[in-house]
Amino acid sequence: MASTSAGQPDGRSSAEQEALDAMRPHLHGMWAAAAPSWGERAAYVDERAAPIAERLLALSAPQPGERVLELACGPGGLGLAAAGLVGPGGEVVLSDVAQEMAAIAAARAQERGLANVTTRVLDLERIDEPDRSYDVVLCRDGLMFALVPARAAAELARVLRPGGRVALAVWGPRERNPWLGVVLDAVSAQVGAPVPPPGIPGPFALQDAGALAGLLSGAGLADVTVGEVPVPFEAASPEDWWALTTALAGPLATLLTSLPADAAQALRARAREDISSYRTPAGTLQIPGVSLVAAGRRPG
- Asked whether residue 47 is domain-assigned, the answer is yes
What's the rounded mean pLDDT across residues 28-47? 92
Expressed as residue numbers, the domain containing 155 is 14-173+201-232+290-297
What does the pLDDT read at residue 2? 37
- Asked whether residue 207 is domain-assigned, the answer is yes
- Asked whether residue 108 is domain-assigned, the answer is yes
- More confident position, 281 or 14: 281
Distance CA 56, CA 161 (A): 18
Distance CA 255, CA 271 (A): 15
Which of the residue ranges 61-70, 124-133, 255-264 would you say has the lowest mean pLDDT? Answer: 255-264
Domain count, the chain: 1
- Asked whether residue 183 is domain-assigned, the answer is no
Does the pLDDT of residue 159 top 90, yes or no?
yes
Does the pLDDT of residue 5 top 70, yes or no?
no
What does the pLDDT read at residue 190? 85
- Asked whether residue 60 is domain-assigned, the answer is yes
What does the pLDDT read at residue 11? 60
Does the pLDDT of residue 7 top 50, yes or no?
no
What does the pLDDT read at residue 10? 55
What does the pLDDT read at residue 3? 35
CATH of residue 19: 3.40.50.150
- Asked whether residue 131 is domain-assigned, the answer is yes
- Asked whether residue 243 is domain-assigned, the answer is no
Strands 160-171 and 134-140: parallel
Distance CA 132, CA 157 (A): 8
